[in-house]
Structure 1
């Protein structure tokens, strides 16, 4: 060996470099909830799925729990593979203009979170799909259920889900999407297991029954209604958000994580044959 890579290796390096360059030039899609929120949702769901569902998940993911699986679809965003750089971006959100419903709008040609759910459900149920493909599908399903419960991941199509809405959060420059993804909940200084235990304990049995709905269009409808109430007043060019905004909206963000955890359990139970999808 002379230390010089072979032509095949050189071509691989070039392909990776080109893909990475292309990825860097593309607009970066938003990541709902950040790691903390997604893991809270996964942890809540892990406590609520049926025994059969947990066994089905273990056949696909092994020892990996739902909290760990929940962030994988965001962690792979830098993967130079064509799927991640050219295809998977729209799978994290839906677009529903104000005054309309998802049923009226539907998925765009490039797909969205809801069309991706259909695709990944089909993979899980395909007896010929590999375990690797099923693992990708299942991890993405876990992630998408969390995504569409974040109100700004059901965007209106006007401002990239609040990414274009510049704000200050306790004096630091950021945007509205980031406030909802992470800043409000990370400011509570809780680990995901602490946060999940606390929020799970607060869910009343009557709420579990009311929220146990495996229909994604219901979740999206809730998110769009909330979305239209969380924009700060446009009385200054860059609103300075802080305690008053947090007092008004933190409870909503926490409720959406609770609902997402319950709905993720409901969806997985349906996916693996424990329940029937309504509607």
Structure 2
């Protein structure tokens, strides 16, 4: 029997284990680089001003700040904001219910709602906006990783697997190893250029026009919940499609498992970057295309 105990109930266990971040450094930086290619000049200028940055990688450079911050004494409160614990029943049933799944300490959906409102509020102080921007850049990445929208086995952290000969867990391979194998040696900027080209070309059957359906500043809660629900559905269709035991006993997952499911990582990283750029454009200019 596999547990649906929320992440926060075993946080001390995970703090002593190998730390796993949604998409890992490569994934988060790739999402940010994609977003940078979709923001308008006005949005870029405003984001740089809020971040106090003149760097060419102004978003990619801060894309993992929230992961470092959560493990500091002053930032420990933010740990629950990196995920939403869907208390569903994969692989037979996947769903996200905000009232059921977003705990009292908050979740990724409530965080996106909150930090978007801060960025929209002209009275917000510079320091508050700086943190809000870094959180938005990170949490829009997080919410697109399927196991950050799942409570089962602590979002897969306690599902033991082998990948490329190394013992690890299911959550970690979706954060890191699958993404690195997919990038095939490319760094984040190059990987992002490849994915941005695929977005523009409509490769892989991607219907990019549909990626912004339902995206609205008038209902940020529905927008965030929609993104979480979309990612969560992959837990049933791909991540755990054959069940936990099949994954744990399925041998090295860098072979047939990767080949069967890597496209989920590819489309979700692309969607996250595209949506992050559009979301920032919407906040700053009122238009998704800036």
TM-score range, shorter chain: 0.7 to 0.9
Name the stretch that deviates more: 262-271 or 55-64: 55-64
- Normalised to the residue count of structure 2, the TM-score between the two structures is 0.79
Aligned to 1:212: 212
Which has the higher Rg, Structure 1 or Structure 2?
A: 1
Aligned to 1:45: 35
SS of the equivalent of 1:94 reads coil
The answer as to 2:68 corresponding to 1:75 is yes
> What is the rounded CA distance, in whole Å, between the counterparts of 2:188 and 2:21 in structure 1?
17
SS of the equivalent of 1:88 reads helix
Work out the number of aligned pairs and report it. Answer: 249
Offset at 1:59?
Answer: 1.7
Note the residue ranges of structure 2 that are not aligned, 5 or more in a row: 1-10, 216-222
Distance 1:95 1:36, change over 3 A: same
- Normalised to the residue count of structure 1, the TM-score between the two structures is 0.82
Higher relative contact order (CA 8 A, sep 6+): 2
Instruction: Trace 1:43-192 onto structure 2 (pairs within 5 A).
Output: 43-61=33-51, 62-64=53-55, 65-81=58-74, 84-85=75-76, 87-98=77-88, 99=93, 100-103=95-98, 105=100, 107-155=102-150, 157-187=151-181, 188-192=184-188
> What is the rounded CA distance, in whole Å, between the counterparts of 1:205 and 1:274 in structure 2?
26
Whether the aligned pair in 2 keeps the contact of 1:163 and 1:178 (CA below 8 Å) is yes
Instruction: Trace 1:229-244 onto structure 2 (pairs within 5 A).
Output: 229=237, 230-231=239-240, 233=243, 234-235=245-246, 238-240=249-251, 241-244=253-256
Offset at 1:104?
Answer: 5.3
Offset at 1:66?
Answer: 1.4
Name the stretch that deviates more: 59-68 or 248-257: 59-68
SS of the equivalent of 1:161 reads helix
Distance 1:129 1:216, change over 3 A: same
Whether the aligned pair in 1 keeps the contact of 2:80 and 2:108 (CA below 8 Å) is yes
Note the residue ranges of structure 1 that are not aligned, 5 or more in a row: 1-23
Alpha carbon RMSD of aligned pairs, Å? Answer: 2.2
Whether the aligned pair in 1 keeps the contact of 2:87 and 2:101 (CA below 8 Å) is no
SS of the equivalent of 1:167 reads strand
SS of the equivalent of 1:80 reads coil
Aligned to 1:6: none
